[in-house]
């Protein structure tokens, strides 16, 4: 049946409010080493191996014909960037186990993130590339085909090395890149990510931590360049398949660490970046500290016998009546406490409207497991009542928007369309599912 938690005073037995504080009480700098170590943790290595194998298979599928080679390269690009953005959003939720991309829709889950990542990572360097193109045109040092086929050779032209404006624009692109990717992860929009005003707004909102994040990304950029050089040397080893796997792993290490750094920025400062509501960034002031005194076991018959009550069913009925009175009086704290105690009892007799009230109140208070239980009960206890589709809509929103379970949310929305067509709930569900169509 699951468990729920509510806070009580161990002396008087009354309900208590949990003392909360903002996540930023522990600085981003203190959390940063954990984000950088992510590629070498158990979940990080599992994700890295999966992505490396997928990229290796897709790159080996490339053949000499350009038209045929485009498809596997496009899919490889989508796999890489979909995994990158999934890591950012997973770290933003504080999840130890990153959520893998679904890849149920090739456009939404592969092509769209691949195109977004490519456009953002290239777009921030467009001013530097335009400057380089102009210098090379005036110097006539390479033709168009050479520039496209060998960009590294082209960028190493002497005319570029002596131009301060080109290098200034290139450094500006490197400094812009992390904030552009951060905006892309939040908005999923290329235009928003390439808007320099959005990047400046993020830097101002993050404050002093912006300098730390930018400095870390500069170091990661240098490390990424060095690992690319090592990967090129590894590819020359006369071994079947192993060099390609090692090269892909070396070039994915830094992006995986960078994705977790960006996710950490959202985890600590997501409220000022308008990523999630401010309430989602509050956590118990005592952390995971266990209570000094254990609460009594929620077992109605034992409690009734200990109190000298001869009829446990009458005692349960009295508690249910007390819950109903608390709901009618809109006493949220008392209603949640009574409901949490009654939920473990068999043959619970609570009206669907009261289940719905508890589900809404628990969601507002941030007790999402209790909200899910109550909303499921509201829909299951009276599936033909008007409260059922409303409860399911709220349940889908809690699962998807608060608990990050988007797959479960989509399942609920599709059930609403099937079970309750031609209702406001169905129209709301259809609007939420429209992007996936």
Which residue ranges make up each domain of the chain? 24-282, 300-436
Total residue length of the chain? 437
pLDDT 10s digits, 358-389: 888 888 888 888 888 889 888 888 888 888 99
**What average pLDDT does range 265-285 have in this prediction?**
86
Residue position matching structure tokens 């406490």: 337
pTM of the model: 0.63
pLDDT at 124: 93
pLDDT at 1: 44
**Degrees, nearest 5: CA angle 249-77-274:** 95
Q: What is the per-residue DSSP string for 139-189?
A: HT-S-HHHHHH-HHHHHT-HHHHT-HHHHHHHHHHHHHHHHHHHHHHHH--
First to last CA, the chain: 34
Of 352, 332, 285, the C-alpha closest to 6 is 332
300-436 CATH, one of 3.40.50.1820, 2.60.40.10, 3.40.50.300, 1.25.40.10? 1.25.40.10
pLDDT 10s digits, 304-361: 444 444 555 666 677 677 778 888 887 888 888 777 766 655 445 778 888 888 888 8
pLDDT at 25: 87
**Which phi and psi angles does 308 have, rounded to 5°?**
85, 20
**Degrees, nearest 5: CA angle 121-124-130:** 115
Q: Give the number of other Cβ atoms within 10 Å of residue 210's Cβ.
A: 19
Q: Please classify residue 95 by burial: count the beta carbons closer than 10 Å to its beta carbon, then call 0-12 exposed, 13-18 middle and 19+ buried.
A: middle
Of 421, 432, 353, the C-alpha closest to 386 is 353
pLDDT at 396: 92
pLDDT at 2: 54
Q: Please classify residue 328 by burial: count the beta carbons closer than 10 Å to its beta carbon, then call 0-12 exposed, 13-18 middle and 19+ buried.
A: exposed
Residue position matching structure tokens 């002497």: 158
pLDDT 10s digits, 127-165: 988 888 777 766 554 454 444 444 554 566 666 777 889
d(CA 52, CA 74) in angstroms, rounded, equals 15
- Which residues, including other chains, have CB under 8 Å from residue 400's CB and lie 6 or more apart? 406, 408, 409, 410
**What average pLDDT does range 38-57 have in this prediction?**
89
Q: Assess whether pLDDT exceeds 80 at residue 224.
A: yes
Of 172, 185, 136, the C-alpha closest to 156 is 136
């Amino acid at each position: 049946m699951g468990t729920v938690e509510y806070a009580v005073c161990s002396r008087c037995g009354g309900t208590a409010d949990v003392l909360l504080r903002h996540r930023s009480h522990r600085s981003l700098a203190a959390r940063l080493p954990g984000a950088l170590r992510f590629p070498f943790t158990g979940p990080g290595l599992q994700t890295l191996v999966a992505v490396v194998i997928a990229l290796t298979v897709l790159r080996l599928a490339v053949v000499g014909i350009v038209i045929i080679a485009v498809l596997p390269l496009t899919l490889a690009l989508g796999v890489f960037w979909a995994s990158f953005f999934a890591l950012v959003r997973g770290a933003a939720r504080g999840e130890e186990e990153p959520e893998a991309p679904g890849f149920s829709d090739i456009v939404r889950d592969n092509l769209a993130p691949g195109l977004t990542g490519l456009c953002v990572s290239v777009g921030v360097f467009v001013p530097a590339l335009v400057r380089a193109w102009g210098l090379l045109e005036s110097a006539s040092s390479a033709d168009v085909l050479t520039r496209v086929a060998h960009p590294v050779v082209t960028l190493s032209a002497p005319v570029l090395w002596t131009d301060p404006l080109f290098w200034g624009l290139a450094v500006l692109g490197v400094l812009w890149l992390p904030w552009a990717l951060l905006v892309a992860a939040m908005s999923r929009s290329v235009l928003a990510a390439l808007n320099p005003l959005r990047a400046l707004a993020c830097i101002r909102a993050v404050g002093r931590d912006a300098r730390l994040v930018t400095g870390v990304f500069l170091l990661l950029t240098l490390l990424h360049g060095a690992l690319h050089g090592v990967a090129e040397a590894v590819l020359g080893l006369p071994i079947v398949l192993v060099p390609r796997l090692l090269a892909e792993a070396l070039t994915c290490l830094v992006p995986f660490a960078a994705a977790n750094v960006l996710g950490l920025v959202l985890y600590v400062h997501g409220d000022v970046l308008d990523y999630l509501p401010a309430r989602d960034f509050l956590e118990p002031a005592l952390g995971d500290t266990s209570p000094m005194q254990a609460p009594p076991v929620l077992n109605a018959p034992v409690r009734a016998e200990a109190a000298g009550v001869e009829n446990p069913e009458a005692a349960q009925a009295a508690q249910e009546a007390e819950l109903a009175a608390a709901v009618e009086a809109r006493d949220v704290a008392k209603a949640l406490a009574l409901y949490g105690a009654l939920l473990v009892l068999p043959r619970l007799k609570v009206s669907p409207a009261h289940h719905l009230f508890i589900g809404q109140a628990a969601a507002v208070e941030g007790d999402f497991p209790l909200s899910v239980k109550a909303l499921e009960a509201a829909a299951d206890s009276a599936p033909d009542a008007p409260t059922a589709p409303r409860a399911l809509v709220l349940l889908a929103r809690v699962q998807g928007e608060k608990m990050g379970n988007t797959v479960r949310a989509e399942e609920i929305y599709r059930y609403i369309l099937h079970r309750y067509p031609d209702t406001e709930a169905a129209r709301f569900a259809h609007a939420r599912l429209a992007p996936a169509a």
